[in-house]
C-alpha cells in the first residue's frame, strides 16, 4: 500500500511545556538553549550506537526485506489453515503485539464473523494466572490453533511454562503433528528455545541479537502476529523509517524525539518524576501500556554509566481519554506538580457517529444534538489540555492525522528514539535491566532451578515476616 508521507506526518505540540503557556513551571527558550552541549552529546551517543550492541532496533526499518516476505507467506498459510492464533509471551513479546492489534484491527475483532475478520481469532497470553490459561482453553480448539512462542532466551519462566502446557496438550492430541501448531520466535544463536525448536522441527523466526524485548515490536516478535491479522507490516516499517529520517537531524528544534526527550529530562531535573500517557482513541489504549514498559525499564536505573550510584527514572502512568477524565484528571489538575502529561490525539477518526436529535426539553442534554462523537472526543481532549495548562501543569500533545499502520510505525519509532535520547541525557545504560534480573533469579531459586543454590540460601536467610504486622 502507498502512503502519503506528508499527509501522514505525526506532529508534536510542545506549547504547553513552555513558560509562555504554563508560567513558571514551564521552560523558556533560553533554558532550552542552555542544554545545547548535553543535547549534542546525547544525539552523538545515540547516532554512534546505531546498529551496535543493544541498539540493533534502529536498523529494523531498513534491513528486513527477506524476513518480511517470509512472514507474509507464513501469515497467509496461518490464515488459510487455522481458526485461532495465540501468542505466548510476556513483556515486550506481548505488549507490542497487543498494542498493534488494538490500534489497527476492528475493536471487536474476535467477535466478528469469519468473513469479516478474514483472519484467525487472536489472543495474547501474557501472564501465568492459572485461571486465565484455563479460560483460554474454553474459547479455543487447540487442534485449530497456531501458537507463537516468543522468548529470546528460551528461559523466560512464564513463557516456557505456557509452552510446556501447550506442547503437552498438542502432543497428546496430535502426536507428531503437534510441531505444525507451534512457531518459535527466538534468538538464532543462543538460548533454550532455538535448541528446542530445532529438536522438535518448529518453524522459527529470529530476534536480532541487538534487539531487546521492549524494542522488539518492529522485528518478527511483532511483525508475525500483526501480519496474521492482516496488518500491513510493510506500512508499519515505512512509518518507522519516516520517523527515523526526521529524527536524524541534530538540531533539537527540528528533531521531535530529541526535543521530547530534552523536555522530559528538564522536567525530571525539576522533580517531575511521573510521565502520564493519555491517548484519546481506544485504538491507542495499549500503546500506553507498551510505552509504560519502554519508559520504565529503560530509564529506571540505580547506576550511572560511570558506575556511580543513582536512583533515576520517571514513573509512567497509563491513562485513556475520555475514560480517565472521570478517574484521574482531578489529580492531574489539582494535585502535586510532579507530572508531565502526554496527550495523543487523532485528526480523523476511522468511523463517525452523529448524535441524533432528542431530549428537546432538556437543554443541558439537547446541546449535544447535531454534533458527532469525534467532535465530542476532540473537544474533551482540548478542554482537558486547556484545564491542565490553566492550572500550570506541564503537558504536550502528539497528533496523528489518522490511526493506520504508517502513523503507528511513526509513533512507535518516535517513542523508542525519545527513550534512547532520554537515557543518553541521563547518563545511564538505557538498554539493560538489572532490576528485573534480581526478581527473575529469586523466582528461579524458589522453584528449584539448578545453579541457584546460593540465591536459595540467601532467600532462606532473609528476615522473616513478623506475625504482629499481619492482621
- The residue annotated as part of the active site, out of 108, 326, 465, 468, is 326
**Number of Cα atoms under 13 Å in the Cβ half of residue 239:** 28
Nearest to 264, CA basis, from 392, 396, 416: 396
Separation between Cα atoms, residue 214 and residue 291, nearest integer Å: 9
Phi, psi angles (nearest 5°) of residue 239: -65, -40
Residue tagged active-site, from 125, 217, 297, 385: 297
For residue 12, report the phi and psi dihedrals to the nearest 5 degrees.
-120, 120
Task: Identify the three-state secondary structure at position 400.
Answer: strand
C-alpha cell at 232: 500491513
Q: Are 122 and 83 in contact (CB under 8 A)?
A: no
Contact 22, 392 (CB under 8 A): yes
Catalytic (active site) residue 69: no
C-alpha–C-alpha distance, residues 387 and 311, integer Å: 32
Which of 17, 13, 3 has the alpha carbon at shortest distance from 256? 13
8 Å CB contact between 102 and 286 = yes
Q: In which element (H, E) is residue 245 found?
A: helix 233-246
* Whether residue 297 lies in the annotated active site: yes
Task: Find out whether 173 and 143 touch, Cβ atoms under 8 Å.
Answer: yes
Whole-number Å distance between alpha carbons of 372 and 385: 20
> Is 102 within 8 Å of 66 (Cβ atoms)?
no
Q: Identify the H or E element spanning 72.
A: helix 65-81
SS3 99: helix
Per the CB < 8 A criterion, the answer to whether 273 and 338 are in contact is: yes
Which one of the listed residues 171, 303, 312, 440 is annotated catalytic?
440
Strands of 339-346's sheet in order across? 11-13, 395-400, 339-346, 274-279, 315-318
Report the C-alpha gap between 418 and 406 in whole angstroms: 18
440 is catalytic: yes
Under 8 Å between Cβ of 407 and 400:
yes
Residues tagged active-site: 297, 326, 440
Amino acid at each position: 500500500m502507498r502512503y502519503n508521507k506528508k499527509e501522514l506526518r505525526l506532529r508534536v505540540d510542545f506549547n504547553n511545556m513552555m513558560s509562555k503557556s504554563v508560567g513558571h513551571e514551564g521552560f523558556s527558550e533560553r533554558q532550552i538553549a542552555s542544554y545545547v552541549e548535553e543535547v549534542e552529546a546525547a544525539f552523538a551517543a545515540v547516532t554512534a550506537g546505531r546498529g551496535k550492541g543493544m541498539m540493533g532496533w534502529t536498523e529494523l526499518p531498513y534491513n528486513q526485506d527477506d524476513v518480511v516476505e517470509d512472514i507474509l507467506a507464513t501469515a497467509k498459510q496461518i490464515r488459510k489453515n487455522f481458526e485461532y492464533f495465540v501468542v505466548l509471551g510476556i513483556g515486550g513479546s506481548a505488549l507490542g503485539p497487543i498494542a498493534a492489534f488494538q490500534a489497527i484491527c476492528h475493536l471487536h475483532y474476535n467477535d466478528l464473523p469469519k468473513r469479516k475478520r478474514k483472519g484467525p481469532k487472536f489472543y495474547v497470553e501474557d501472564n501465568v494466572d492459572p485461571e486465565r490459561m484455563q479460560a483460554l482453553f474454553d474459547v479455543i480448539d487447540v487442534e485449530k490453533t497456531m501458537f507463537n512462542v516468543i522468548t529470546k532466551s528460551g528461559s523466560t519462566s512464564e513463557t516456557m511454562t505456557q509452552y510446556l502446557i501447550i506442547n503437552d496438550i498438542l502432543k497428546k492430541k496430535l502426536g507428531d503433528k503437534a510441531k505444525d501448531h507451534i512457531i518459535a520466535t527466538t534468538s538464532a544463536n543462543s538460548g533454550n528455545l532455538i535448541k528446542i525448536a530445532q529438536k522438535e522441527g518448529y518453524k522459527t523466526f529470529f530476534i536480532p541479537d541487538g534487539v531487546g524485548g521492549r524494542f522488539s515490536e518492529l522485528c518478527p516478535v511483532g511483525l508475525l502476529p500483526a501480519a496474521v491479522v492482516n496488518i500491513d507490516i510493510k506500512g508499519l516499517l515505512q512509518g518507522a523509517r519516516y520517523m527515523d529520517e526526521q529524527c536524524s537531524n541534530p538540531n533539537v528544534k527540528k528533531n521531535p524525539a530529541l526535543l521530547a526527550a530534552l523536555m522530559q529530562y528538564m522536567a525530571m531535573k525539576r522533580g517531575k518524576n511521573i510521565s502520564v500517557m493519555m491517548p484519546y482513541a481506544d485504538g491507542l489504549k495499549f500503546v500506553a501500556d507498551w510505552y509504560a514498559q519502554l519508559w520504565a525499564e529503560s530509564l529506571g536505573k540505580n547506576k550511572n554509566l560511570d558506575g556511580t550510584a543513582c536512583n533515576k527514572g520517571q514513573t509512567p502512568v497509563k491513562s485513556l481519554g475520555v475514560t480517565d477524565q472521570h478517574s484521574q484528571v482531578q489529580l492531574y489538575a489539582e494535585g502535586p506538580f510532579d507530572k508531565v502529561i502526554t496527550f495523543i490525539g487523532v485528526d480523523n477518526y476511522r468511523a463517525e457517529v452523529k448524535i441524533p436529535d432528542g431530549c428537546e426539553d432538556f437543554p443541558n442534554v439537547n446541546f449535544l444534538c447535531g454534533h458527532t462523537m469525534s467532535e465530542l472526543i476532540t473537544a474533551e481532549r482540548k478542554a482537558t489540555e486547556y484545564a491542565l495548562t490553566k492550572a500550570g501543569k506541564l503537558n504536550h500533545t502528539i497528533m496523528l492525522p489518522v490511526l493506520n499502520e504508517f502513523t503507528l510505525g511513526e509513533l512507535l519509532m518516535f517513542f523508542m528514539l525519545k527513550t534512547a535520547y532520554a537515557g543518553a541525557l541521563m547518563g545511564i545504560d538505557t538498554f539493560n535491566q538489572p532490576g528485573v534480573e534480581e526478581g527473575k533469579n529469586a523466582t528461579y531459586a524458589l522453584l528449584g532451578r539448578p545453579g541457584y543454590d546460593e540465591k536459595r540460601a540467601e532467600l532462606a536467610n532473609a528476615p522473616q515476616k513478623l506475625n504482629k504486622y499481619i492482621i
